Amino acid sequence: MKAKAWVIGIIFLSFASLKVEGSILKNVKERKEIHCGVTQGVPGFSSPDSKGNWSGLEVDICRAVAAAVFGDKDKVKFIPLSGQARFTALQSGEIDILSRVTTWSLTRDTALGLNFVPTTFYDGQGFLVRKKDKVNKISDLAGATICTQQGTTTELNLSDYFRANKIKMKSVVFESNDEVIQAFLKGRCDAFTNDTSGLVAERSKLRNPDDFLILKEVISKEPLGPAVRHGDDQWFDIVKWSVFALIEAEELGLTSKNIDSKKDSTNPTIRRFLGTSEGNGKSLGLSEDWSYQIVKQVGNYGEVFDRNMGKESPLKLERGLNALWKDGGLLYSPPMR
């Protein structure tokens, strides 16, 4: 009797999974584009130019998924969202991927019904201050007014840190990042707190960036990365392995410039990556050359980082924790086999 119930349970679970799997991929293909939720403008991550063309690390993540699904990185519609609106947009189906400086946390992963794919940028929360105020460490902010954005982990981290360290401060909260910056520049607050990378990006846009200082202390862990909603394992797998493909390509030394020259490689790992050996594409419900298309059209993770955040960008950020595991960083891809 127990064996019969077990078999029925397995059949029921299999049927249930078949019922939900593939619905997002099907919708995306029928729509002929992916809807990607991004910021309203954070240099390095996602920001539009004067003609509405988007660029940034998180923009390129969505382009990588489009390259995998369609073989065309440009089949993406970018939808700018506030910190408050981003989760509702994903839960309601307005967007297919949330790629918007979003920290992976327990509550978001569970109560909000999100599935986070691998972290694409390891960060931590810091503080931007005016040099003339002679603030050199967080304890110097005792009694200060600090600006932050509503609906973000920075808002909670700020409160938790100052309470735990028994430092008095007053927080001023705004809905959008632009409002936070303008309030800080107008003197409504003594400091601005955000992820350190975001502070670097905002400081780079200021008229006199040398008048401002980012404190060395970091008060939190902020693993940033894309998320999809619960309920569609196939879509989750596609987005997840698209990110892993960017990392794996850098590990293998595959770039947008040399990948075509590797088509005759006898290395089994490279052959699987290029789709010369079949299997990986079928497992995801994609064409066999899905990961080749990602690297050919978007590049590997190192290329994406360098042009948006690193040495080829105005931000000039070091790789740090965002280097490959073999180079002392945290980026690591499971075997693509």
pLDDT digits (tens, 9 = 90+) for 4-36: 444 334 433 333 333 344 699 999 999 999 999
Architecture of domain 17-122+224-327: 3-Layer(aba) Sandwich (3.40)
Residue-range domain boundaries for the chain: 17-122+224-327, 125-220
Domain 125-220 has CATH 3.40.190.10: yes
**pTM: predicted TM-score of the whole model, two decimal places:** 0.87
Tens digit of pLDDT for each residue in 209-251?
999 999 999 999 999 999 999 999 999 999 999 999 999 999 9
Same fold, 17-122+224-327 and 125-220: yes
C-alpha distances out from residue 310 to 108, 155, 185, 204, Å: 29, 27, 26, 13
Q: Over 50: is that where the pLDDT of 317 sits?
A: yes
Percent of the chain past pLDDT 70, that is, above it, reads 93
As a whole number of angstroms, the distance between CA 170 and CA 158 comes to 10
